[in-house]
A and B are shown apart, each in its own frame.
Chain A
Amino acid sequence: EVQLVQSGAEVKKPGESLKISCKGSGYIFNTNWIGWVRQMPGKGLEWMGIVYPHDSNTRYSPSFQGQVTISADKSISTAYLQWSGLKASDTAMYYCVRLNIVATNYYFDNWGQGTLVTVSS
């Protein structure tokens, strides 16, 4: 069974740095892109970016380029999302997702349980 297990909830102050994680199991981690999706309180889903664990190739949504860093460590089947200077507007639930690509179809077939990030002074 494919599973994506994310790290626990975080409470941080503005300006602090943070790195959250997503560990994959039940499949060959290197072979699928892993992405991150943001959901702000009471709002919809926003795709942030993806990483290919095999070679750490990354792609970002224009809305998040330069705001976050996505990475992966294939040796421990784990992907990461990090910030160098958090803002209150980063308060949200963050989901990791596994991307499946079939011809012209790109979809997220497995989701992590979510990591709630709260940024408050």
Chain B
Amino acid sequence: QSVLTQPPSVSGAPGQRVSISCTGSSSNIGAGYDVQWYQQLPGTAPKLLIYGNNNRPSGVPDRFSGSKSGTSASLAITGLQAEDEADYYCQSYDSSLSGSYVFGTGTKVTVL
């Protein structure tokens, strides 16, 4: 079971801004471990979207940005595009579970 909680779904019209939250605890995000975000397009493997809370790998548009505060993190998508319709997962490290790499519950982004 996931220890990082995300909203099941968010939606927005093209061009709008949407945000996805990722809520953890004092043994993962709150302990200072960084947060990553992965994008999973339909029928494909997940892809690293944001690492180290707010860093984008080469090739990821700057429409995607991340932030972290306390025991939570957020992913923002500005200028939403049809191709952004996908599942998004946050991920961090948890020191309480024998050292586990934990994922969020996942959020489906729908472009209206």
Instruction: Using A45-B103, A111-B47 as known contacts, say yes or no to A105 and B34 having CB atoms under 8 A apart.
Output: yes
> Is B69 in contact with chain A by the CB < 8 A criterion?
no
Question: Which of these, A44, A95, A109, contacts B2 with CB under 8 Å?
Answer: A44
Instruction: Using A45-B89, A104-B32, A104-B34 as known contacts, say yes or no to A109 and B48 having CB atoms under 8 A apart.
Output: yes
In the bound complex, do residue B105 and residue A105 qualify as a contact, i.e. CB atoms below 8 Å apart? no
| A interface residues, how many (CB within 8 angstroms) | 25
CB contacts (< 8 Å) of B97 on chain A: these are: 61-62
For A87-116 the 0/1 string (1 means CB < 8 A from B) is 000000001000110101111111111100
Chain A residues 41 to 55 lying within 8 A of chain B, measured CB to CB, are 44-47, 50
A114 to B46, CA, bound (A): 10
Q: From residue A51, how far is it (CB to closest CB) to chain B in Å?
A: 13
A106 to B46, CA, bound (A): 16
In the bound complex, do residue A95 and residue B103 qualify as a contact, i.e. CB atoms below 8 Å apart? no
CB contacts (< 8 Å) of A111 on chain B: these are: 45-48
In the bound complex, do residue B51 and residue A47 qualify as a contact, i.e. CB atoms below 8 Å apart? no
> Is B93 in contact with chain A by the CB < 8 A criterion?
yes
> Is B102 in contact with chain A by the CB < 8 A criterion?
yes
In the bound complex, do residue B106 and residue A45 qualify as a contact, i.e. CB atoms below 8 Å apart? yes
A108 to B46, CA, bound (A): 10
**Cβ-closest chain A residue relative to B36:** A107
**Cβ-closest chain B residue relative to A4:** B45
CB contacts (< 8 Å) of B45 on chain A: these are: 95, 111-114
CB contacts (< 8 Å) of A24 on chain B: these are: none
Chain B residues 90 to 112 lying within 8 A of chain A, measured CB to CB, are 91-93, 97-106
- In the complex, which of the residues A50, A107, A109, A113 has the most CB atoms of chain B within 10 Å of its own CB atom? A107
CB contacts (< 8 Å) of B2 on chain A: these are: 44
In the bound complex, do residue A35 and residue B101 qualify as a contact, i.e. CB atoms below 8 Å apart? yes
> Is B79 in contact with chain A by the CB < 8 A criterion?
no
In the bound complex, do residue B103 and residue A46 qualify as a contact, i.e. CB atoms below 8 Å apart? yes
Which A positions have Cβ atoms within 8 angstroms of B?
35, 37, 44-47, 50, 59, 61-62, 95, 99-100, 102, 104-114
